[in-house]
Amino acid sequence: MSVATTTLSQYRAQLRSNRLGLWLFFISELFLFGGLLISRFYLWGGTRPDLDQRLGLIVTSILLLSSFFMYLAEVGAEHENRRLFLFSLIMTALLGTAFLLGVVIFEWGGEIRPWDGAFGAILYGMTGMHALHVASGIVLILIVAYNGLRGRYTAERHWGVEACAIYWHYVDVVWIFFYPAIYLMGTVPT
């Protein structure tokens, strides 16, 4: 059944199932990211690698700002403000890309390598898994923007936008836990 032929009540029923499925997916992801956090505290203990604190703050600020634009995109879709919707999606994708490049180019280009013991394994494991989720979020944002350009969303029917926004905010929340665990907690060994 196409979107055009479904009634609004059928759409809402499907929406409830979609939301449940998305949240079940996030619960499974919680085990993945939770396991990475537990590994960090187990293997690093009360220490942390000597990382560029400014870089950590900058990429975190960029990611949080991208979440604000994702929120604006969702508001634009809900109110059928196509200009706000598309502009905010593109800003979210650009800021997400800046975050990704900041981590991959600058953090991964630093002195620590994946094979440098516990510091390297955990740093690359946590940032790599998060970067994979950010990259997939950027792809989702671009797909939603493409569909938005084609007029596929209305105030009543914009599940794709909502799902993308929830995913993006989830990835941001994960980083809110990763950032202090990687950059702030513990002492740098001498």
Q: Quick one: CA torsion of 149, 138, 53, 181, rounded to 10 degrees?
A: 130
* Segments making up each domain of the chain, as ranges: 14-184
The 10s digit of each residue's pLDDT in 77-122 is 999 999 999 999 999 999 999 999 999 999 998 888 999 999 999 9
Q: What does the alpha-carbon distance between residue 128 and residue 140 come to, in Å, rounded to a whole number?
A: 18
| CA distances in angstroms from 121 to 105, 125, 133, 159, 177, listed in the order given | 17, 6, 18, 37, 18
Between 122 and 154, where is the model more confident? 122
Burial class of residue 114, CB neighbours in 10 A (0-12, 13-18, 19+): middle
The 10s digit of each residue's pLDDT in 30-46 is 999 999 999 999 999 99
pTM greater than the 0.85 cutoff? yes
Question: What is the CATH number that goes with domain 14-184?
Answer: 1.20.120.80
- Provide mean pLDDT across the span 156-161: 86
